[in-house]
Structure 1
Amino acid sequence: MMSTSPPRIAFAIETTLGNAVFLQNLKRAMSRRTDITPVWLPIDEHADDMWEHLPLVRSRLSIRGGLRTRWALQQAVANEPLRAAVVHTQRMAHLAHDFMSRVPSVVSTDATPSGLEDYLRYYGLPSQHAGWVGRAKNALHRRTYKVARGLLSFSEYTKRSLVQEYGVPDARVHVVWPSVDTELWHPDEARKPRDGVVRLLFVGGDLGRKGGMLLLRWARETRVRGWRLDLVTSSGFEAPPGVHVHVGVKPNSPELISLAQAADLFVLPTMADMSSWAIAEAKAAGLAVVTTPTGGVGELVRDGVDGRIVPVGDYAALASTLDALVSTPDRLRAMGRESRRMAEEKMDLRTTCDRMLDFIRNVTGI
């Protein structure tokens, strides 16, 4: 007699940076469902386990993560059969090909190696595509993408790379934009101070790469008055007048949501990125957004409708844009309303989760 219990699906997700937000949001969405049984396998790349103490492994982040993922998946399926698995990201899946051949698996990612070249250039690191090492890495990624039944991409930008540069069939890639709980993240007019000050918000742990230094330069040099900048980042520093630095703010925390609800404009002039959870959160909170077109980030903002897109690293364009927007609060409010509308239509966590699970069921056959 066939079992009628909901299918068990493992979610092996690394917990660094924005990936931790992805895991947290997925858990929130799945908690409301009864049609599947999620098996959560958070992969902590800094765990004090046996892999951390092996000399040839502990210095290689991808190998440690891959071994931890392989072990977690094997333990999960040993406890009780799995119908499918989702592994985030591909570097976590490279050492689990045998598991993925037995259990239908989907790999989710916000970037391909090709897409990460902007990161490497920003940090002054050599290309991953050079020489025999680059060819070997390319072959490994192609193999991982081939073993997976399907791919979840965080942007159309990354989907194009998967299809055009790595040969993944278009039908096997589903785009799932960064999404948030639009009931948790929502506008709240009661939190808007009535003092005539335009509030700008920046959220980014890596201040330099996320464009925070350009924003601080604007704060020092602009002649426009009547603004305040709240800057959420990973470490404190002495800020110029008008800038308030917030350190230790947790994802989805009341403090972070309150900062967004009090703000008028979200600014992320990022230098190198693939996607942005912070922009999705800001749009759900009803904020106009200024960002750059790097990676798939530009897909999240409709230039002139719910925000502005400025060229990467172009301080003059950023400063001119910010001066104009800070001086026109009515325009910011109109853009903010469009941001919320887009978030409800395309970034709502429950809707995104429904579509993602439909795709997983389709490609894995569960």
Structure 2
Amino acid sequence: MNGSALYNIGFVLEQALGHVTHAKNLQANIRHDPDVRPHWALIPFETHGLAARLPVYKSNWTVRAGLRARRSLGRLVKHAAIDALFFHTQVPAVLNPDWLRRFPSIVSLDATPLQYDQLGPYYQHESGPQWLEKLKWRLNRRCFCLARHLVTWSWWAKEGLIEGYGVPADKITVIPPGVNVHEWQRPTPRTRHNGPVKILFVGANLERKGGLLLLEAFRAIRSLGVELHLVTKDHVPAEAGVFVYHGMQPNSAPLKALYHQADIFALPTYGDCLPMVLSEAAAAGLPAVSTRVAAIPEIVRDGETGLLTPAGDLAALTEALRRLVTRPDERLRFGERALAHVTQHYDARRNAGRLLEVIKGEVDLARMQERIPA
């Protein structure tokens, strides 16, 4: 393909929570497409210095992300002839309707603002007064209307756009973020073994991700010969059979080794949209125990690739773990199915290609429309 046919795409990516890993995976995988020239605008979440003291700016992520995205886009278009913009999530796009109109724009999200409000208590997020919530709804709906296409991480989020904002179903494509499956696969197949059964938990916020509940469940089954391995930023007091890891970096070799050494992955989270650690666990061939929250049932298929329990239900969590601890053949069967499921639906490289096809399609359509006489 000659140079004039290249797709110059601006990627405006928020850098909050799990979206940091998503951005890194996109950067790693999009470079494999020779027809795409990506231009990256990474929008930081943190504030420092004077910015950390400015009213509204310091406390409102939508305002902060919108202004930072506007500055980044201004710099970006000075150095490149942009064909399209891709925003993830909608947060940097909401206050930039002029940029959405200026270029064919695709907006990606893991949850709608209304869905996020439902999960709000677990993210220290509170809804505002009614007038503010109405304004927020109108601004987000304008964003969704101006975008040429919308991409959601899950069917749950797609339904949220349709039901909560009236977005036509054919304007939305579901493309999960996923992981680079081949990089997370265990180097050797899993087999039955005689050592302790190792349960792995990965979550920075121990309480919100259900880590404290998991500790209680672990204590009830510790006598079965079980170890609990916790990857978290939070402090955990020393306890028999509990191993704690701080400072683990995303996609790092030491983190992958923990997945490969584990037998069960547990994430009894109270509030999440689609935790990327569940994709990592599946790619490592682990059966998962998680909760029926948001889009989690789409990746952890109850009774097929793992077990799902109600959020906060200690008895159900304990029983699910006991079941997998005492049934090694079921663990292995669930793990094999989890790997097959994530390979088909949550492979980051494959899904990056699907995402680029959506963006290219909008660019091609815009180019065709420009050639049609008025």
TM-score category, normalised to shorter length: over 0.9
Asked whether the 8 Å contact 1:198–1:228 carries over to 2, the reply is yes
Are the structure 2 counterparts of residues 120 and 35 from structure 1 closer, same or farther at C-alpha, using a change threshold of 3 Å?
same
Matched residue SS, 1:199: strand
Matched residue SS, 1:73: helix
Q: How does 1:1-366 map to 2 (within 5 A)?
A: 3-46=3-46, 48=48, 51-52=51-52, 54-122=54-122, 126-128=126-128, 131-189=130-188, 195-222=194-221, 224-364=223-363, 365=365
| Aligned-pair identity (%) | 35
- Give 1:134 deviation, angstroms: 1.1
Are the structure 2 counterparts of residues 56 and 213 from structure 1 closer, same or farther at C-alpha, using a change threshold of 3 Å?
closer
- Give 1:191 deviation, angstroms: 9.0
Cα offsets for 1:303-337 (capped at 9, x unmatched) = 11110111111111010110111011121011111
Are the structure 2 counterparts of residues 121 and 16 from structure 1 closer, same or farther at C-alpha, using a change threshold of 3 Å?
closer
Matched residue SS, 1:184: helix
Q: What TM-score do the two structures reach when normalised by structure 1? A: 0.94
User: Which AA in structure 1 matches 2:315?
Assistant: A
- Give 1:266 deviation, angstroms: 0.7
Gaps of 5+ in 2: 368-374
41-50 vs 205-214, greater mean Cα deviation:
41-50
Q: What TM-score do the two structures reach when normalised by structure 2? A: 0.92
Cα offsets for 1:125-148 (capped at 9, x unmatched) = 5435x5111111111110111111
Asked whether the 8 Å contact 1:268–1:292 carries over to 2, the reply is yes
Asked whether the 8 Å contact 2:299–2:342 carries over to 1, the reply is no
Asked whether the 8 Å contact 2:179–2:346 carries over to 1, the reply is yes
Matched residue SS, 1:114: helix
How far, CA to CA, are the matches of 1:279 and 1:168 in structure 2?
28
Gaps of 5+ in 1: none
Matched residue SS, 1:183: helix
How far, CA to CA, are the matches of 1:13 and 1:342 in structure 2?
27
> What value does the CA root-mean-square deviation take over the aligned residues?
2.1
Cα offsets for 1:211-265 (capped at 9, x unmatched) = 1111011122325422111111112321421111111101100011110011111
- Give 1:51 deviation, angstroms: 4.9
Asked whether the 8 Å contact 1:25–1:349 carries over to 2, the reply is yes
- Give 1:172 deviation, angstroms: 1.2
Are the structure 2 counterparts of residues 193 and 13 from structure 1 closer, same or farther at C-alpha, using a change threshold of 3 Å?
farther
How far, CA to CA, are the matches of 1:260 and 1:124 in structure 2?
29
Asked whether the 8 Å contact 1:14–1:43 carries over to 2, the reply is yes
In the alignment of these two chains, the number of paired residues is: 364
Matched residue SS, 1:8: strand
86-95 vs 42-51, greater mean Cα deviation:
42-51
Cα offsets for 1:177-198 (capped at 9, x unmatched) = 1311112110233898955211
